[in-house]
Each structure stands twice: as C-alpha cells, then as structure tokens.
Amino acid sequence: MKPAFALLLSSILVPIYAATYSISDTVVPSSFLNFFEFQAIADPTMDDNYVDQSTAVSQGLVNQASSTSFIVRADDRTVLNPNGAGRNSVRIRSKKTYTTHVAVFDVHHMPQGCGTWPAIWETNEAQWPNGGEIDIVEGVNDQALMPLHYIRALNSTQLDCNAAVNGNSGCGVRFPTANSYGPSFNSNGGGWYAVERSSSAIRHFSNHNIIINLTFCGDWAGAVYGQSGCPSTCVDFVNNNPSAFSGAYFDFASIRVYQ
C-alpha cells in the first residue's frame, strides 16, 4: 500500500505554503505521450541507447498499463554486444518549460537494480550547466541522492553548489529514510516526490524542462559500482544479464504542475 506522505524537495527548501499556486498541467497515463517528447540522443553518461518514440512503443519500453499506470522502462530481454550502443532505454522531456512552479510526481515504482541510474530532474539543456539543474530524485545501484546544481542549498553535502567550482557535483540532499528510494520504496507501493521552485529564491536558473530518464553505469553508477556489493563489473553485468532489469522501470500514476 502506498504510504500517505509526500517527499518534498524545494529548490532551497522553501515551504510550499509560502506561495499560492494553481494547477496548470495534469499528466495522467493517457496524456504522457502528448506531454513529453522522446530524446533519441547519444547518452551523455555513455552506457545506454536512448530510442525514439516508435521504437519505445514497439519494444514495450513505454506503455499505458492502465488508467492509473504509465510505464517507462529499459530493455530486459537482450544480451548485448560489448561493442554495441548499450541497452535500449528511454529519455523523455516535457514540451513545456517552467520557471516558478511546483511539480508533484505520483510514482508507484522506481527503477531498481545493480547498474541502474534513474532520474527525474529539471534543466535547460541548451543552457546547461549555466542555466542550473534540479535533480528531484536520482540514484544509482539503489542508492539515492538529490543534487541541486549552481546555487546554495540547505542541509546539503556540499557548501558551494556552483557547477564551476565542485566538478558539477552540485549540492546533494540525502533521503532521510531507507524507504524513500529503491526496493523498499517499491515494496511499499511507491510514494510522492515533489519540488518547489520559488521566484523569491532562484536567481541563476533559466526556464527548465522536466526530464525523465533511465541510464546504466556511466560516470556515476559505473564509478561507484564496486562499492555497491553488486557482482562483476557494471558494464559486464548490464550487458549479460537482461533479466536482472525486470524491475528497472518507472510506474507513474500522474504528474501535476502548479504555477
């Protein structure tokens, strides 16, 4: 059963009650494909293959499973050529951009498993990193971190969030409980992730798209793979064990944006 709580990350932890918002976009399973566009681009993190919409639909990587369930997943059937492009996966970006807003993600299930690197985040790719980045939820190998890039955040793992001075690691905010991400989150039936971007707090960010993607290994999940207790090396495991990724999927009930 989904726990009745919200996981809230504000851009600098400003409470939502400080401002008044009205619903501007409601994204339910039947409208996901209209709200988002597919980015069939070379993976910036290097270790998977983002496919276009027609390929994603035909391979079952996106699917409206029910009126309350939209699935976004990676291929879990194919043993990969080590010299190939990587495991087929999905990266989708909202057609609209946002400045001041609240976004609430009702998520039944997050991708889990060794080598996985799922993320729900916001940025303007044309202006990245100078336009800022907010990682609403992001994790690797079932461990989560929520980095905020460019400006200062409270209770963070870095004192300076400027991408130019800390290797673009941002200011990470760690989840307070184990069931906020990964297998424990999924076994509880999911939950809510939310972000508020406040016009009174943000000074350096540009307008942002919402981006949802699932990658593997790369320069984060791959770099810390040896510390995760997972078998083999990251790339070898991902290439040779497709069935290990049967749980590597997002299941969204809805996304709601308030402005």
Give the residue from 29, 26, 104, 86 showing the smallest Cα distance to 236: 86
Give the residue from 89, 133, 67 showing the smallest Cα distance to 238: 89
Domain-located, residue 184: yes
Q: Specify the residue for token string 């401002």.
A: 19
Question: Average of pLDDT values for 104-124?
Answer: 97
pLDDT in tens, 124-158: 999 988 898 989 998 898 876 554 433 333 344 45
Task: Respond yes or no: is residue 196 known to be catalytic.
Answer: no
Contact (CB, 8 A) for 56 and 214:
no
Beta carbons within 8 Å of 235's beta carbon, 6+ residues apart: 47, 82, 217, 222
Q: How many CA atoms lie within 13 A of 204 on its CB side?
A: 17
- pLDDT at position 103 is 98
- pLDDT at position 5 is 39
Of the residues 37, 122, 125, 133, only one is catalytic, namely: 133
Of the residues 37, 122, 138, 196, only one is catalytic, namely: 138
pLDDT in tens, 215-246: 999 888 888 898 889 999 999 999 999 999 99
Name the band, by pLDDT with cuts 50, 70 and 90, for residue 248: very high
Residue 257 identity: V
Name the band, by pLDDT with cuts 50, 70 and 90, for residue 162: low
Mean pLDDT estimate for the chain: 85
Domain that holds residue 159: 6-258
Read off the pTM: 0.86
- pLDDT at position 172 is 63
Q: Specify the residue for token string 């390929």.
A: 55
Distance CA 93, CA 226 (A): 31
Domain-located, residue 1: no
Q: Identify the residue with better confidence: 102 or 152.
A: 102
Task: Respond yes or no: is residue 138 known to be catalytic.
Answer: yes
- Structure-token pair, residue 235: 């790339």
- Structure-token pair, residue 196: 């508020």
Domain-located, residue 110: yes
Question: Average of pLDDT values for 104-119?
Answer: 97
Q: Identify the residue with better confidence: 2 or 249.
A: 249
Overall domain count for the chain: 1
Distance CA 51, CA 141 (A): 22
CATH number at residue 156: 2.60.120.200
Give the residue from 170, 257, 214 showing the smallest Cα distance to 48: 214
